[in-house]
Amino acid sequence: MALALFSNNLMAEDAFELDDIVVTAGLQPISITDVASSITVISREEIEQKQVLYLSELLRDVPGFAVSQAGGAGSQTQVRVRGAEANHLLVLIDGVRANDPSANDEFQYQFALTSNIERIEIIRGPQSATWGSDAVAGVINIIRKKTVDSHFLSGNVEAGSFDTFSGGMAGGYSGDALDINAAVSFLDTGGTNISRNGGEKDGAENITGNMSLQYDASDAIRLGLSANLLDASSEYDDIDYFVTGLPVDADRLTETQQSFLSGTLNYEPPQSHWSANLSVNWMDSDNDNFSDGNWTSATAAETLEFRIRGGVSLGDKLNHRVGFALEREEVDFSQRGQASLYGDPNQDQSYQANGYALEYVGKPMAGFTWTASARLDDYSDFDDARTWQLAASYQISAAHRLRGSVGTGSKTPTFTERYGFFEDLFLGNPDLKPESSRGWEIGLESNWSDNRHQLQLAYFDQNLQDEIDGFVFDPDTFLFTARNKDTDSKRRGIETIFDTRLGKALTLAASYTYTDATEKNGAGQSVEEVRRPKHMGGITANYRFADERGNLNLNLQYNGSQQDIFFSPQTYTSEFIKLDAYTLLNLAASWKLTQSLELTGRVSNLLDEDYEEVLGFARPGRGVYAGLRGRFGF
């Protein structure tokens, strides 16, 4: 696993190599050695070694990340970072905001495949001073392949357990001034039974395509166009609201289409201290729900964003840099359904936001970098949000780096929190404020034996304020409304990471995270928040053999016990239920048949662990898969 300071360049013969630049950690790209927040960089090589199909499977190995999936492939998936809420993590696809306003502002991980991902940058801790709303606990930037250094075609195919078949094709062209890259992938699975009882299997289908075009108009100007398109469907079960309160076999289906489009103009003259980037980004999401073959409801969202970012380097040694950002965001939301005695779900809502950000990066002496950033988000329909961050990194010696940061985050109210599911039966709160947080972290990174071994320690502490409760009963009107809570939610913990290379062929990566996430209940008592295990850890071992023709990857994941909530249809009360801890073992292997063609095989959940991440929803047992992949130049 590529963690913090070091990239996962496992092909290097002598040591881990540094990833010089990350594009997500500031208003302008910044050297990874200057970033004070905790960083994980996942390379394409690591994705191919693990052979996982979904982004969420990769995130399980990231320190501080708790993944909760309600069943098998294609089922609803949430990710909570360092004890934060599921919609407090901002996800970008090639820099385009991908959190879905039609899905409670969460990213829909259940549809995110790993195909044609070149690199994933993950920044933990409050990042709203750079990225605005949703970046309360961190940012994930999924970077698709854009530039290529040759003409190529590649493809892969895999089949295995649960009637699963997947495949894909990609191609690239590189000219003097033009780079074109395109890919399409397909997944079809019969799935597994996701409820505890019964035998109905819940399958999924997914077609994902992406394309990018990069054109060098001059030495100073580069134009870019990218598109990511998704068409997916997933089956799921209903809840028995009358007897058990648990999932029960049912014919339920969701169909989803998503589009992410981006056009960019990058201006960076040679030998100039100035640079600037203009982008226009568009996201569209449509979700239709069916019951027993009949359409029942739909949600949709559309986000249009205009963004200008730039910066200038100053000083005799260019050791001062000032960056700025001007952004405009327009968000539309719609909901459709059949009106009944319970209310009318049909509604159309929208809001607009203007964002203004400044950032200063200074290097007053060798080995020391400090950053100060601030942002104002001006919303059309609710209170503004002001966020900031101060951070510093100090290279104590060649082997040790000390880093720390303190900052704030913000999260806009969701459309459901503002208008309810039935707008005519919901009392809107004009005083509703964005959720806010303040957090800090301190970290120490050490390496020895020419970077062959690395140890990283980090302590984090973050409080969530003004958390929104969207189910408040108003006794005056007998309606429900939403209000900001008066109490804080507290999240703190420790992350430890150890990477090592044992010889030229074997690498090991291990991590452990302790998270204490609590909130106040109605009686004013501190209680553990749901789906946030206190203990998480993992080990990944990768071994290359037979002159690097063969590769073996062993991945162990431990998820400690955690709380979930159960609503009893018998007593009409809710109670906490503890979900058991579990350990997963995954194995992946590959063998190069020729220089261009490779045989692959993997076993997921090798020990056939029986476990749940959401109460009542069974995760898949052991799965065995085999396939081929190849890349051919022309």
Q: Which of 468, 405, 408, 406 is nearest to 438 (CA)?
A: 408
**Predicted local confidence at residue 578, as pLDDT:** 97
pLDDT-derived band of residue 615, with 50, 70 and 90 as boundaries? very high
Does 92 reside within a domain?
yes
- The 10s digit of each residue's pLDDT in 98-126 is 999 999 999 999 999 999 899 999 999 99
* Three-class secondary structure of residue 111 per DSSP: helix
Are 454 and 499 spatial neighbours (Cβ–Cβ below 8 Å)? yes
pLDDT in tens, 335-372: 999 999 889 999 999 999 999 999 999 999 999 999 99
Range of the domain at 486: 21-633
Q: How confident is the model at residue 226 (pLDDT cuts 50, 70, 90)?
A: very high
User: DSSP readout, 366-389?
Assistant: TTEEEEEEEEEEEESSS--EEEEE
**14 within some domain:** no
pLDDT of residue 17: 39
Domain-located, residue 6: no
Is 29 part of a structural domain of the chain? yes
Q: Does residue 15 lie within any of the structural domains?
A: no
**pLDDT at res. 634:** 79
Q: Give the Cα separation of 570 and 242 in Å (integer).
A: 7
Sheet with 138-144, edge to edge strand ranges: 38-43, 117-124, 138-144, 89-93, 96-97
> So what's the pLDDT on residue 522?
80
* pTM given for the model: 0.94
User: In whole numbers, what is the pLDDT of the chain averaged over residues?
Assistant: 93
Output the pLDDT for position 36. Answer: 95
10 pLDDT tier (thresholds 50, 70, 90): very low
- 15, pLDDT greater than 60: no
pLDDT at 147 exceeding the cut of 90: no
CATH number of residue 381's parent domain: 2.40.170.20
- Answer yes or no: is 4 within a domain: no
Confidence of residue 18 (pLDDT cuts 50, 70, 90): very low
Do residues 553 and 576 touch, judged by C-beta distance below 8 A? no
Q: What is the pLDDT of residues 48-105, one digit of tens each?
A: 999 999 999 999 999 999 999 999 999 999 999 999 999 999 999 998 999 999 999 9
Q: What is the mean pLDDT of residues 471-496?
A: 93
Query: pLDDT digit string (tens) for 437-459?
Result: 999 999 999 999 888 999 999 99
Residue 281 has pLDDT above 80, yes or no: yes
**pLDDT of amino acid 478:** 87
Sign of the C-alpha dihedral computed for residues 395, 401, 405 and 411 taken in this order: positive
Q: For the chain, how many structural domains are there in total?
A: 1
The residue that leads in pLDDT, 572 or 317, is 572
* pLDDT for 13 beyond 70: no
- The pLDDT of residue 12 is 33
Per DSSP, what are the bridge partners of residue 356? 326, 376
Question: What does the pLDDT average to over 137-149?
Answer: 87
Residue 230 has pLDDT above 60, yes or no: yes
pLDDT score of 3 more than 90: no
pLDDT at position 9: 35
Please give the Cα distance from 241 to 505 (Å, whole number).
54
- The 3-class SS string of 391-449 reads EEEEECCCCEEEEEEEEEEEECCCHHHHHCCCHHHEECCCCCCCEEEEEEEEEEEEEEC
Side chain identity at residue 93, one-letter code: I
pLDDT score recorded for residue 395: 95
- Over residues 166-191, mean pLDDT: 95
